[in-house]
Amino acid sequence: MTDRQNGDGNQHYDVLVVGGGVAGRSAAIYTARNGLETVILDAGGSILRRNANLENYPGFPAGVDARLLLEMMLDQAERAGCEYRETEVTRVRRPDGSRGDSTEGSRVGATGGGFVTETADGGRYRSQYVVAATKNATDYLEPLDGPELVDRGKTFVATDEKGRTGVEGLYAAGRLAGKPHQAIVNAGHGAEVAVTLLEDDDRPFYHDWVAPEGYFTGRGREVPPGCEEIGDDERRSREDDSRSAMQDYFDESHPDEPEMHPSVENAEETD
Ligand SMILES: Cc1cc2nc3c(=O)[nH]c(=O)nc-3n(C[C@H](O)[C@H](O)[C@H](O)COP(=O)(O)OP(=O)(O)OC[C@H]3O[C@@H](n4cnc5c(N)ncnc54)[C@H](O)[C@@H]3O)c2cc1C
């Protein structure tokens, strides 16, 4: 039995993120940084892995290798305490077997019911929240009565403007929620969904900010929840850390090649 299990055969987390593309990784950074036990379950194939050179993601004026960016985002989530498993999610359901529509879901959620998530490798996870960030994959949500799916050639999940699906505790982030097909937009939406989740959870939360010492306290204010004040020594030490980490990331070219569209590969096979 792992320390995540408590005798019921499930591994327990507060937040389970299905899909580890840019939206899922970004959501996990925020929930983990704010103290929620978070795990990402990812089948391993972010569509961004197909990009040849990512040139419009803010912060990289000369562009960045897309596979490196994904690696850096995962490292950031793991630094915050998030766990990551490469596995395919097959089912998300309510623990009591109910379909968990929005009315029933509220009731189950209010009693701490949450969700059970099952994976192709036999894993079973229990979590209060699920963030679905699987681009256009929705089969695993079938055991739930909802969320509402929208077919626009590809399948999307209907949400409110902040990623709530109408099924209590279930959020959709990124492309799955119909956001434009750009990495920064989907990463940003993952962050927005996570902040919404923190607010819905009634976490003491203001903003996820690191501010210079005195920024709040110098005005006689408490440091708000989610924020941190740091002094000059700590700031310099963190900057050194950051520079050294970034030098390591960019020291050599990333070993992974862009992935080709599957139909191109299949076409080559039949030739
Ligand atoms: C060739 C190409 C080039 C691109 N270039 C750019 C560019 O230059 N700039 C730009 O802004 N955008 C670009 N994009 C678009 C960008 O990649 C996407 O908009 C972005 O990755 C979508 O993010 P997402 O997190 O919603 O989905 P994804 O990044 O696709 O992540 C979804 C994740 O869910 C996982 N998943 C699916 N089903 C399951 C399941 N059942 N269980 C577990 N995990 C599951 C997948 O394995 C995947 O890792 C490009 C896309 C392509 C195809």
Per-residue pLDDT of the chain (271 residues), as tens digits, is: 556 877 788 999 999 999 999 999 999 999 999 999 999 999 998 999 999 999 999 999 999 999 999 999 999 999 999 999 999 999 999 998 766 544 443 333 333 479 999 999 999 999 999 999 999 999 999 999 889 999 999 999 999 989 999 999 999 999 999 999 999 999 999 999 999 999 999 999 999 999 999 999 999 999 999 999 999 999 999 999 999 999 999 999 999 999 999 899 766 554 4
Q: Say if residues 239 and 247 touch (Cβ distance below 8 Å).
A: no
Ligand 1 mean position, distance from CA 75 (Å): 18
Predicted pLDDT of residue 3: 67
Ligand 1 touching residue 163 (CB < 6 A): no
Closest ligand 1 atom number to CA of residue 26: 25
Structure tokens at 33: 């940084």
Alpha-carbon distance 126 to 129, whole Å?
9
Helix (H, G, I), strand (E, B) or coil at 189: helix
Q: Where are the domains of the chain?
A: 11-200, 208-271
Is CATH 3.30.300.10 the right assignment for the domain spanning 11-200? no
Alpha-carbon distance 172 to 179, whole Å?
10
